[in-house]
Amino acid sequence: MSETYNVLEKATNNNFSRKKFLQYAGVTTAATVAFGLVGCKKDSPVRVDDKVNLGSGDVGVLNYAYALEQLEAAFYIAVLNSAYGGMSSGEGLILEDLRKHEVAHRDWLKAALTSVAPNSVIPTLTFNFSAVNFSNRASVLATAKAFEDLGVSAYNGAGQLIQNTDYLVQAGKIVSVEARHAAAIRSMIASSNTSFAGDDIIDSKGLEMTRTPSQVLGIAQSFFNEQIDGSNLPVPN
């Protein structure tokens, strides 16, 4: 499913790309139509003028992680609030665990940020999941896969931007759990027996894909109602 990544890279901040996101993530035509309709609904106000600046330095990187964990947590909460038809008990247990883990990451990041930089914590963000058809298994799992793979690549890419050793260790403690998630979701989709660590995300040296914050935010932005500004984040040397 390498198309997921190719198209994720091209995603931009508009509703069209939200729909394309899932089309390319392997959703069936019928599902595409269904979430296309969902995408036309606007029952919550989109705060188009809201901008959120992640800040700079290590606090910026923590805010970056906090934004991504908020996104993942909100997604799994939504998934379990309207479980797709035919969700097996095994799938439900995995998705429930993922919800708990991402909520724990989110709540902990907020607390940790509040203790080290109380005036620089980004607010609670709001999300636009109009591209996801929560009643469709393929749509939900394709989105979960995209988020988990994105999360791993984000933490992997952010490691070298972190100055504080304790924060680096924390990023390491979380990224491997995201990778465990990604493998589990990929196995649920089961596009092949080797997709848990597929050649689409692991190169010929056995290294997993990494992404810079600007690459990650370019992909994830369409799911945030707020405009996430990562321009002050550290950049790789």
Which residues would be at the binding site for other proteins (CB under 8 A)? Answer: 94, 97, 100-105, 107-108, 110-112, 115, 152, 155-157, 159-160, 162, 165-170, 172-184, 187, 192-194, 196-197, 202, 204-210, 236-237
The single-letter code of the amino acid at 40 is C
Nearer to other proteins, 92 or 172 (CB): 172
Q: Using CA atoms, how far apart are residues 35 and 45, in angstroms rounded to an integer?
A: 19
List Cα–Cα distances, 45 to 41, 42, 49, 225, in angstroms: 11, 7, 11, 9
Contact by Cβ (8 Å): 158, 64: yes
- 43's tokens: 């029952």
Q: Using CA atoms, how far apart are residues 60 and 53, in angstroms rounded to an integer?
A: 9
Q: Which of 180, 146, 148 is nearest to 2 (CA)?
A: 146
Nearer to other proteins, 134 or 167 (CB): 167
Contact by Cβ (8 Å): 185, 47: no
Minimum CB separation from other proteins for residue 123, in Å?
A: 17
Minimum CB separation from other proteins for residue 174, in Å?
A: 7
Minimum CB separation from other proteins for residue 203, in Å?
A: 8
Minimum CB separation from other proteins for residue 169, in Å?
A: 6
Q: Using CA atoms, how far apart are residues 85 and 74, in angstroms rounded to an integer?
A: 20
Nearer to other proteins, 38 or 121 (CB): 121
Q: Which of 188, 182, 94 is nearest to 146 (CA)?
A: 182
- 190's tokens: 């089961």
Minimum CB separation from other proteins for residue 1, in Å?
A: 15
What is the phi/psi pair of residue 51, to 5°? -125, 140
Nearer to other proteins, 45 or 118 (CB): 118
Minimum CB separation from other proteins for residue 51, in Å?
A: 27
Nearer to other proteins, 38 or 171 (CB): 171
Nearer to other proteins, 131 or 177 (CB): 177
